[in-house]
Amino acid sequence: MRLIVGLGNPGSGYEKTRHNVGFRVIDLWCREMGVVLKRRLFSSKCLRTELQGRPIILLCPQTYMNRSGEAVRACSDYYDLDTGRILVVHDDLDLPLGRVKVVRARGAGGHKGVSSIIRHLGHSEFSRVKVGIGHPRYGEPVEDYVLAPFYADERGPAEKAIRVAVNACELFVLEGVESAMNQINCQNLTD
C-alpha cells in the first residue's frame, strides 16, 4: 500500500492557485485513472484504489495547508504505513516553473504544509514531489503570490509540470522513489 498526498487548500477560491498544485496533480491523476476522489475520511478527500494491481490511497487533506499533517498522520496510522510508502506532492517556491523534483528525507524548506506533516509524523523520512512555481515577478509578498493563480503565460508550463508530477507519482508506486528521482529530476520543461 502506498499513500500519495496532494497538498492544497479546500474551497473554490483556492482552486487555481499556485499553492494548490498538489491537489491538481491528484485531480489529474484521478481523471486519467477514471476514478473520483470524493470519500471523506481523515479530514480529507480520500480514495483507495489500485495502479496496475498495486494498492494506493490518494489523499487531499481538507484541513487547510498549515494543518495537513493531522490528516496525513491519521491516514498513515489507520493503515499502519511506514514512511517509505508515503509520497507528498506540493508546490515549491525555490524551483523555477517547469521543474519537478522528487526528493526523500528532506526538511520543509519553509513550506507550511510539509512542516505540519513533519511535525505530526515526528520525522521527515517520507518522499516528496516538488512542483516548481518560481518567484513573484512583480514584487508581490510571497503569501499573496502562492495564493494567486499562475500568470497567463505560466499556465501552459504549469499544466505540463502537473502532468510530469503525475508521472512521478506513478513511478513512485510502480518502480520506487529511486527510479522516480532518476527519471524525473533530469527533466526541465523550461528548456
Three cell numbers written together for 25: 496533480
Would you say 8 and 21 are in contact if contact means Cβ atoms under 8 Å apart?
Answer: yes
Is 19 a residue of the active site?
Answer: yes
Query: Cα torsion for 12, 18, 22, 24, to the nearest 10°?
Result: 50
**Which residue in 19, 111, 120, 123 is the catalytic one?**
19
Helices (H), the chain: 21-33, 68-78, 112-121, 142-146, 155-175, 177-184
Q: Which residues are catalytic?
A: 19
